[in-house]
Amino acid sequence: MLMKACTPSSVLLVCLGNICRSPTAEEVFRQQAAIAGLSIKIDSAGTSDSHVGDKPDPRSQRHAKSHGYKINKLVARQVSADDFRDFDLILAMDSQNLADLQAIKDDMAESEEDLAKLALFSEEDPTYCGSDVPDPYKGDNDDFEEVIERIESSAQAWIESWKAC
């Protein structure tokens, strides 16, 4: 399948620490895009620097693996100004991440057209309708399972929206 003009060539997935939601979303998105025949550069990062260099949370790794996603090789990094130039679309896991990303973007000198578009990860998802993907970090097994369910749904919604345009 040829990529349509509205399909981004690159997507960055962002949460707070880049150890739970965004690395899981990176791998889910990568697999779903490949299945759909889309060639998209996909990466993840965090708005915080508190886990830079760390592997994904062991609970995220375990739950992702049980769903067929391997995230154990990913390493947390912090969002940089270059990400706004290097990616077409940056998807935030929640409204606080989105606000933090918007603040970084607002501080940059480039015109808006030259920088990545920002959106909530669930913005295109009719099931979750722009609601936050909850951070499971302080939660239990059910919270990690809910994150995977939401991420799979929202990643598929983005891909379907690109196929439709």
Q: Which of 15, 57, 77, 83 is catalytic?
A: 15
Q: Which of 20, 21, 30, 83 is catalytic?
A: 21
Helices (H), the chain: 21-35, 58-66, 81-86, 95-107, 141-164
Comparing C-alpha atoms, which of 129, 109, 111, 112 is closest to residue 121? Answer: 129
On whether the CB atoms of residues 11 and 30 are closer than 8 A, the answer is: no
Distance, CA of 5 to CA of 2 (rounded, Å): 9
Comparing C-alpha atoms, which of 8, 87, 6, 80 is closest to residue 43? Answer: 87
Q: Is 21 a catalytic residue?
A: yes
Q: Which of 43, 125, 132, 135 is catalytic?
A: 135
Distance, CA of 13 to CA of 22 (rounded, Å): 5
Q: Is 15 a catalytic residue?
A: yes
Residues with catalytic roles: 15, 21, 135
